[in-house]
Amino acid sequence: MTRLTRAEQQRRTHDHLLASGRQVFLRRGFLAATIEEIAADAGYTRGAVYKHFGGKEGLWLAIIEADADGHLRGLREALAQATSRDELIAALNPVDVADKNAAKWSAAAAEVLAATAQQPETAALVAAIQRRHDDEVVALLAEHTRRLRLEPALPLDQAVVMLGALGIGLALRQTVAPAADPAAILTHALDTLFPPYTREP
């Protein structure tokens, strides 16, 4: 068996803690989750969480940054393959907002927003990750709506914020007052944002 280098061991610990943090936040929510539980789930001591992430907030930031990067990779691939308006809309609506994990994650995210409202430094870090993600989505949509000759009904920066807020809101609502068909609501919003008429070639 090949012995891991120190850097490889550190990366493995980092990845295990990320995976454990994600599961504990889903299971317990952000506020109820503890460093001890996250570390124990990953098979480490609480010191490992502090060493790699500085604490619970740092771990959350690392998870949402990894999720944002993963979302962008998937979206970039899906949009590159889109050859029509319908395929572009499908690429923007791949997540099942009725999924229980999506609802739990949205609830945990709402807890983080409430908890960091009085912590300007942490709130600024969350906002920076969101802005970077939104800016990249806007750039991708600009490229592919231009390629498909689509005319969005809203400026793309506003459309991206609206879609993000709607998706989070629908997923969060599923935890307390489920809508009959949240996916249809999101699809209707996308249909409205990207009407079927096209630009002149």
DSSP states along 6-75:
HHHHHHHHHHHHHHHHHHHHHHH-TTT--HHHHHHHHTS-HHHHHHHHSSHHHHHHHHHHHHHHHHHHHH
The residue among 182, 201, 3 whose CA lies nearest residue 98 is 182
Q: What letter would DSSP give residue 1?
A: -
Structure tokens given for 159:
């459309």
- Grade residue 156 by pLDDT with cuts at 50, 70 and 90: very high
Taking only the tens place, the pLDDT of each residue in 100-112 is 777 788 888 888 8
Q: What letter would DSSP give residue 181?
A: -
**pTM for the full model?**
0.86
Q: What span, in angstroms and rounded, lies between the C-alpha atoms of 66 and 75? A: 14
The identity of residue 119, as a single letter, is Q
Residue % of the chain over a pLDDT of 90: 64
